[in-house]
Chain A
């Protein structure tokens, strides 16, 4: 499987019902996106760090993701503060920095990191197929859930087919160069993967028809809320209420 996740651990976060984790992550993310005071953002960051630590994931494991996000924000910092013509400009000699734009960049940076940490600790701890089932049990549009399930299941197989073709061309002495032969070979590989995937889709559909599939999925998985979930739900509702209260009133 080419997807990595942190679902196979034991922690307080892992023991929560997957539906609770998904819904709370969504609500937290929405609330965080509306926060603008730095005090509120700092407490939200603290909260996401606490959840992250409770989920028993280490920073080293997610450093790549955090780095990618923060490099993305670096471009914000390199462009936005210099493009404003607001009143609160600060002249630093070689450039004029717009204070309001700079602060907005900081807010976006903190929000982005909070949401990423929340997603890692709350969503990445649900294995991806349970995730799909949890979504369907909270009445998420079933077509999207099925699309996701099949993508997960067959992306890996398509990946294996790609590796197979790659091995086949390498075994016959193919070395990529900057020439027509290389382009033609790569185009052929891509086309062959797509055709194979289409063929497979047809066979999968036929196999499902043979087992009397009529467009409806029935799940055997049962989700149940436990005491810990109720505790978590009340605590997180309280937190979100406090955030929103502090922000708007």
Chain B
């Protein structure tokens, strides 16, 4: 039996105090090397779930265990974030540096790596994603697909144990979508993908969850949950 990396128990969350619960008693266990695709209607709390896992949001009740410990404070979650790469739905929210290289090196530098180490790991990550010669490109001039790959590189360069991807196939053409699938299948990490794209989910994940009425249920048939 593999170790659980994330264990969420009886999570309740709502954006407004007293408002309708987005998550109502959600339980989720993510094991090492597991790949889960989370689906569900819009507003079901898929992004909320990812944000709760890295402590960007705090649940009203329930516990979040990550990497073998209960995580409560901001300080606890800093360690979680260092080991969890979170790729946002919109790459423009994530990429803010002038050049691709600087953006990819931003995480490693924050983790205390020296300039040379950070540059080395960033160039290596760009190579792995087939983004050679992208290092001096200006981030805001990239196409949507390129931005997506660079934003993935910017979290992979932190060498995380777990990857959380929010709608990674959004706005990707077939070429970039296939490339992303190929990359995700080549890396050996625990992955949670939140996506509506069933074809994408089936090609990248082994387990499927459906968020409905604030709870996560195993999806019976792949992707759709019906």
Q: Which residues of A contact B (CB under 8 A)?
A: 1, 127, 129-130, 133, 149-150, 153-154, 156-157, 200, 203-204, 206-214, 216, 218-222
Known contacts A204-B93, A206-B51, A221-B102, A212 near B115 by CB under 8 Å: no
B98 x A212 contact (CB < 8 A): no
Task: Indicate if the CB atoms of A207 and B94 lie closer than 8 Å.
Answer: yes
Residue of A nearest to B54 (CB): A210
Q: Which of B81-89, B169-177, B218-226 contacts A (4 or more CB under 8 A)?
A: B81-89
Task: Scan B175-216; emit 1 where CB is below 8 A from any A CB, else 0.
Answer: 000000000000000000000000000000000000000000
Tell whether A209 pairs with B96 under 8 Å between CB atoms, given A1-B140, A220-B102, A220-B118.
no
> Given A200-B93, A203-B90, are A212 and B111 also a contact pair (CB < 8 Å)?
yes
Q: Is the CB of B96 within 8 A of A211?
A: no
CB distance from B91 to the nearest CB of A (A): 9
Residues in B119-164 with C-beta less than 8 Å from chain A: 119, 140-141, 154-155, 158
A214 and B93 in contact, given A153-B140, A220-B101, A220-B102 (Cβ under 8 angstroms): no
Q: Return A216 CB to nearest CB of chain B, in Å.
A: 8
Interface size bracket, B side: 20 to 34
When the two chains form their complex, are residues A220 and B115 in contact, meaning their CB atoms are under 8 A apart?
A: yes
Cα A219 to Cα B107 in complex, Å, equals: 12
Q: Which A residues touch B154, using CB under 8 A?
A: 211
Extra contacts besides A203-B93, A211-B110, A213-B110 (19): CB < 8 Å: A127-B98, A129-B99, A130-B98, A154-B96, A157-B140, A203-B90, A204-B96, A206-B88, A207-B94, A209-B56, A210-B54, A210-B155, A211-B81, A211-B154, A212-B107, A212-B158, A213-B106, A220-B105, A220-B115
When distances are taken between beta carbons in the complex, the residues of chain B under 8 Å from A206 are 51, 56, 88, 93
Secondary structure of the B contact surface, majority rule: helix
User: Does B76 belong to the interface (CB within 8 Å)?
Assistant: no
**Contact (A211, B56) CB under 8 Å given A153-B96, A157-B92, A220-B115:** no
Give the most central of B94, B98, B111: most A CB within 10 Å.
B98
Q: Say how far B163's CB is from chain A's closest CB, in angstroms.
A: 12
Contacts of B101 in A (CB 8 A): 220
- What's the Cα separation between A130 and B90 when bound, in Å? 25
| Contacts known (A207-B93, A211-B158); A220 close to B107, Cβ less than 8 A | no
Q: Which residues of A contact B155 (CB under 8 A)?
A: 210-211
A211 touches B107 (CB 8 A): yes
A-B interface contact total, Cβ < 8 Å: 77
Chain B residues with CB under 8 A of A218 = 106, 109-110, 115, 118
From A206, A213, A216, A222, residue with most partner B Cβ within 10 Å: A206
Q: Which residues of B contact A211 (CB under 8 A)?
A: 81, 106-107, 110, 154-155, 158
The reply to whether A156 and B81 form a contact with Cβ atoms under 8 Å apart is no
Interface assignment of B69: CB less than 8 Å from any CB of chain A: no
**CB closest residue in chain B, given A206:** B56
Q: In the complex, what's the smallest C-beta–C-beta distance from B148 to chain A, in angstroms?
A: 14
- Are B110's CB and A214's CB within 8 A? yes
Cα distance A91–B180 in the bound complex, in angstroms: 80
